[in-house]
A and B are shown apart, each in its own frame.
Chain A
Amino acid sequence: MNKYKKADEAVKLIKSGDTVLVGGFGLSGTPLTLLDALTHHHAKELTVISNNLGEEGRGLGKLLLSGQLKKAIGSYFTTNRDAVAAWSRGELEIELIPQGTLAEAIRAGGAGLGGFYTKTAVGTKLAEGKEVREIDGEWYLFQKPLKGDVALIKAAKADKLGNLVYHRTARNFNPAMATAADLVIAEVDEIVETGTFHPEEVVTPHVYVDVVVRNRYVKKGGKYVVPS
């Protein structure tokens, strides 16, 4: 089984109108190569589910500037001024979900659950329109699961089967997103022979991964930069 594709081939699997889960916390653990490739692809009217929208002109920030995003669902968009501006002009829809509820909704989506009740956000503006019920004397609100047509995730390494290991806090939303989309494309720094990973170090088992692409960025001074 060969899951390897070039990034520009892999993103052709994304269609206009798709809901795309994108891993990362800021730019850490973000599939930068896939997002670059996606800006050169025709898919538009995309709904993105991601904690943030990258930074101005970087990561998902690039996809925002290329005009391919219709809607963003996530927890924190104020750090990208372009996102705030696009929203102000009515060019970008935004749905704000508390970060923990976002992560759990994606996990529920991937685990085949119909949603869950959480105390988070009860009584706030973000609870508007959501069902609220009392459980054992405390108030909870209902959160539906979140799923994507496609997930674009970032891991440190894949083996040839598609098992993934992550690096430090670049793991963040990636493992949950790997479970919650019909098509999962993983960008990795390195592809190794099957059997290289100890079974206990595998965080995302290969069953979840459909396509593996290689990250074209290289690490310099602790940051991913475009190779010179």
Chain B
Amino acid sequence: MSHHEQDPRIKIAKRVAQELREGDIVNLGVGIPTLIPDYLGKKQVYLQSENGLLGMGPTPPEEKIDMDLISASKKPVSMLPGASLFDSADAFAMIRGGHVDVAVLGALQVDQSGEIANWAVPGQRILGVGGAMDLLAGAKKVIVTLTHQTKNGDPKLVKTLTYPRTGLRKADLIITEKAVFQVADGQLILVEKDPELTLGQLRSITDAHFEIAADLSVSFK
């Protein structure tokens, strides 16, 4: 990464922040999604945390930390004016019942139909799922965030998932540091692309088939 290039995770977080609308009820998954609140500016969204909080605020100063007030990542948080508290069953009724506008999920892989894998790695011990499957099944809109390739350079946007899938529900929008894809009719459609990358270069690092939007933007910096 040269000095003028930004951290891909931050680039992705900034782009998701643009996607969220004023007043949205949003659940942020672990990893890249937790960076998003820093880039919302004046846009007011309401963060839902599945351990029982709507109206989650930023990390409090040291003297105000209370481990009875934590995020789903078990980190100390604060409450904003208008916040509400509820139990886990109600928190997931809110999610499953379609009352959360957007879930932003991290993912290990996405296939070319928009199906995602974000909870388990083949061959490794599968001892945790948390709320990943509930969020995917229940949120009104699912935005998936992931870096475009693995550390070894393998594509994460694949023809067929090799990791266990998280559910039948497909993502609505996929955001990497290189491109933005919409999912429509079981296909990926490239809607934005990093200007420093040709289409050929993008295809060479993307295993999944994708269509190109008629109004493709090449200004995703």
Residues of A in contact with B (beta carbons under 8 Å apart): 25-29, 51, 75-79, 83-84, 87-88, 94, 96-101, 103-104, 106-107, 118-126, 139, 166-176, 203, 221-224
For the complex, would chain B's binding face be called helix, strand, loop or mixed by DSSP majority? loop
- Given A124-B164, A125-B120, A126-B133, A99 contacting B67 (CB threshold 8 A): no
- Given A96-B129, A221-B65, A169 contacting B53 (CB threshold 8 A): yes
Q: Which residues of B contact A122 (CB under 8 A)?
A: 137, 167-168
- Cross-chain contact A107 with B129 (CB below 8 angstroms): no
Of residues B50, B93, B128, which shows the largest number of chain A Cβ atoms within 10 Å of its Cβ? B128
- Cross-chain contact B120 with A176 (CB below 8 angstroms): no
Would you list the 10 A-B pairs with minimal beta carbon distance, nearest first? Answer: A100-B92, A100-B134, A78-B128, A170-B68, A222-B65, A103-B88, A103-B89, A76-B128, A123-B168, A98-B133
A173 to B92, CA, bound (A): 11
Write out, one digit per residue, whether chain B residues 66-95 have a CB within 8 A of any chain A CB (1) or not (0): 111110101010010000011111011101
Residue of A nearest to B71 (CB): A169
- Cross-chain contact A78 with B125 (CB below 8 angstroms): yes
A174 to B90, CA, bound (A): 12
Residue of A nearest to B164 (CB): A125
Point out the residue from A79, A83, A120 that lies within 8 Å of B167, measured CB to CB: A120
28 CB-based A-B contacts, threshold 8 Å: A25-B70, A26-B70, A27-B67, A28-B67, A28-B68, A51-B88, A75-B131, A76-B129, A87-B125, A88-B125, A94-B127, A100-B92, A100-B95, A100-B133, A101-B134, A120-B138, A124-B167, A125-B164, A139-B168, A168-B66, A168-B85, A169-B70, A171-B85, A173-B87, A175-B87, A175-B89, A222-B65, A224-B67
**Chain A proximity of B136: nearest CB distance (Å):** 8
Residues of B in contact with A (beta carbons under 8 Å apart): 49-53, 64-70, 72, 74, 76, 79, 85-89, 91-93, 95-96, 120, 125-134, 137-138, 164-169
Residue of B nearest to A94 (CB): B127
Residue of B nearest to A83 (CB): B127
Point out the residue from A99, A121, A221, A223 that lies within 8 Å of B88, measured CB to CB: A99
- Cross-chain contact B68 with A167 (CB below 8 angstroms): yes
A223 to B67, CA, bound (A): 6
**Chain B proximity of A84: nearest CB distance (Å):** 6
